[in-house]
Amino acid sequence: MSKLLKFLAALVLLLVVAAVLAPFLVDSDDFKSQVESAFASATGRQLVIAGHLRISLVPRPALEVIDVSMPGAFGTRDPALVEADRVRLYPRLSPLLRGRLVLGSVRVEGGRLEWIQDGRGKADQDDRPYSRWLTIDDLEGVAGPIGAGEPVAFHLNGLVGGRDGESPARFRVEGKLVTDGSPRLRLNALAVDLQGLQLRKGLAADLALHTSLDADLDARRYQTDGLALDIHAFGKALAGGQIEAKAGARVVLDLGAGSLMVSDFRVRSGTLSATGAAQGRDLPSTPLVEGNLVVDELDLRAWLGQQGLPIPVTADTDALQRFSLSTSWRLAADRLALKDLIVRVDQTRLTGEVERISTSPPGYRFDLVADQVDLDRYLPPSQRTRARSTRWQRMPKAASEPAVSKGPVAEQPSSERPSSGTGTGTSASAPLPVLAKVSSPMGTISEPDLEGRLHVGDLVLVRLRFGDVDLGLRGKEGRLDIRDQIQSFYGGRLDGSLGLDLGDAQPSLALKQRADRIRMGPLFADLIGEERLTGRGRITADLRASGRRANALRRSLAGNLTLEVPKGVIEGINLETLVREADARLNGRPPPEDLPTSTSFEDLRASGQIDRGVLHNEDLTLRTDYLRVTGAGTLDLVRERFDYRFEPILVKPPKGRGIKELEGSPIPVHLTGPFAHPHWDVDLSKVLRATAQKRLREQGGTLFHELEKRTHIKGLEQGLKSLLGQ
């Protein structure tokens, strides 16, 4: 017995010595070429072993390969598709003792895998392949036959990343593999964790997937059981906020039949709840996937607060409280189409379809219909037009003052006066409210390809109301062109175009509009808060501007405007009343009572040219039954000030109306001051002098002869004529 024990001990010692010395006595590098040839024959791809082959027997038999790679990364210029610093192959001991090599497990350290993002080897803007790579810190898995019903655990750790400068994501995969000896197998407790996955610039996510998978390798059919996905999105794109969500589904992928079925899809994120389903066919050759998605109604403002995301500051604090979505979708190649789209935002219902026709550059086609949209609700409070009544102030004059006009008078202080020079005040009559109220920088459009139609039943924008709106939009290479046909615009019609060029460093716009038979009263009421002008008329505009902010847009504004109103009323001002009040002051009388405060006219026409934000007008004409008015001057849209002169002429005023001696003489009227608080100045000294000269010419001889006879003053006629310039 002792001899047997000694023999066994010697045998074990011999085996141990052999296991220790074998790696040094056998030159395993002699087998590298045989391994490379065998790999090429089995896979059709080249294998390069730049390092050594090593054989070890303790603590268990293993074949170790150092610095191995597989050249040719799917058409890229990178020399390697797969690289690994170290690969260990562990054979099963029992078959090995019988002279058969059966792998039991594989361990990879420092592995790297590179593939092309779109699978076609397309280069990016830097003319470099858009490849992504995978680094495996540690992989340990099974290889070769697995015992029937015997669960085998595996795990995989590493990094996955992308193009230069993109932070890699760390991943971990683990689970248990079970098979019954047939091509069917099951992965139990499969867990995949990804930390810091870069979705796009400024947006990353942590993902945790848990499921079980049944696979039929021969039929190529795979089915998940209870797939659950936890999502945590974060990054600068979310402005310091984050999105927490949980998703689940049941997935059946049958590559043999080329089909995909996704059922019981659900997403939950706070109060947000979404459900859907999908099915695909013709996989993987020409895949077509269709499905549907429903987002239940939720308080969007409250959900943003739950996620810590910034809540838009809107003029209406009740905006964005209702949101829901439902659509069916279809994905084929690069084209994603949303059909039967229904989006509800507060009181707005948007329907139609949207299709993404390309991804690089992004291209979209759409046909959408909205029943009603009040955009003013969603503008920031500082950008929403706030109407304020214009105060038509008249300058007080001393009763003994012979000349009413002495130039502009200092503005009266008012707590409602907008800040001067800022261009962001809420002046009541500021024109072009769309331009004047935009204070945030314009965004830039990279290279979208947009084309589509948007119809809106009722639209409110900067207090203006539009009905039955058809917009045709086309955008490409940083330019957006909009053609509008508005059937209902204040009782008339509005047609035109708007062009935005945002591709350059200095964005620019071009606006052409024609409004016919519009009701001026409601238009002015919405624009400035009061019906200062009533009647039906026509307005045309051909304007251009450039800049990123409101001030720059106004300062660069140029173009033409025209106004034609065949018949109407100017409310709040009557030129005849101004003249009669000025005459009463000059003669020391109280102003007449019950004077008209509006001017009815038979025709009003004006045109103007805008240069660097200043409107110049030289041809204003207004005609009433007994009044003819011409006007010329400027409206400074940058400083928001008037400098305008009128010349009304009384023509055969009815009895009791007007001042008879002023008939036929132009009466200078000067309008000055800010838009919100204009001042009227009537200069009667010049017209009274002209009237006196006229009377001297008509009655001078008889009148002065009688005066010289009574006063015994010779030369009185000539002296007064010289004084009056006769």
Structure confidence by residue, pLDDT tens digits, 18-75: 555 445 444 556 567 766 776 676 556 677 888 877 777 666 677 778 887 777 644 4
Question: Which amino acid does the sequence have at 489?
Answer: F
Interval 211-239 mean pLDDT: 91
| Residue 442 pLDDT | 40
| Distance (Å, whole) CA 67 – CA 109 | 10
Taken as a whole, the chain contains a residue count of: 726
Query: Residue 462: which of 576, 379, 556 has the closest Cα?
Result: 379
Query: Residue 563: which of 521, 533, 610, 607 has the closest Cα?
Result: 607
Structure confidence by residue, pLDDT tens digits, 540-565: 999 999 988 878 888 999 999 999 99
| Distance (Å, whole) CA 133 – CA 680 | 76
Structure confidence by residue, pLDDT tens digits, 368-391: 999 999 999 998 886 554 434 344
Asked whether the beta carbons of 473 and 514 are under 8 A apart, the reply is no
| Residue 191 pLDDT | 93
Query: Residue 31: which of 61, 57, 62, 52 has the closest Cα?
Result: 52
Q: With bands split at pLDDT 50, 70 and 90, how would you rate the model's confidence at 209? A: very high
| Residue 678 pLDDT | 86
| Distance (Å, whole) CA 252 – CA 249 | 10
CB atoms within 10 A of CB 215: 18
What tokens does 38 get? 């065998």
Q: Please provide the DSSP assignment of 339-396 as one string.
A: EEEEEEETTEEEEEEEEEEEETTEEEEEEEEEEEEEGGGGS-GGGS--------EE--
Query: Residue 649: which of 672, 681, 622, 671 has the closest Cα?
Result: 622
| Distance (Å, whole) CA 685 – CA 676 | 28
CA–CA distance from 85 to each of 90, 113, 167, 441 (Å)?
17, 12, 22, 51
Q: With bands split at pLDDT 50, 70 and 90, how would you rate the model's confidence at 147? A: low
State the chain's mean pLDDT as an integer. Answer: 77
| Residue 724 pLDDT | 47
Query: Residue 76: which of 111, 27, 116 has the closest Cα?
Result: 116
| Distance (Å, whole) CA 664 – CA 652 | 8
Q: With bands split at pLDDT 50, 70 and 90, how would you rate the model's confidence at 6? A: low
Question: Which amino acid does the sequence have at 411?
Answer: E
Q: Which residue has the higher pLDDT, 151 or 96?
A: 151
What tokens does 184 get? 């069917």
Asked whether the beta carbons of 350 and 342 are under 8 A apart, the reply is yes
What tokens does 37 get? 């040839």
CB atoms within 10 A of CB 586: 19
- In the 8-state DSSP scheme, what is residue 549? S
Highest average pLDDT, of 83-87, 330-334, 422-426, comes from: 330-334
| Residue 425 pLDDT | 36
| Residue 404 pLDDT | 38
Torsion of CA 161, 163, 165, 168, to 10 degrees: 0
Torsion of CA 91, 94, 99, 104, to 10 degrees: -20
Counting residues of the chain whose pLDDT is more than 70, the rounded percentage is 68
Asked whether the beta carbons of 307 and 237 are under 8 A apart, the reply is no
| Residue 604 pLDDT | 95
Query: Residue 517: which of 494, 483, 484, 543 has the closest Cα?
Result: 494
Q: How many CA atoms within 13 Å lie on the side-chain side of 637?
A: 26
For residue 202, pLDDT over 50 is answered with yes
| Distance (Å, whole) CA 142 – CA 107 | 9
Give the E-state strand segments of 183-258 in sequence order.
Answer: 184-200, 203-216, 221-234, 242-254
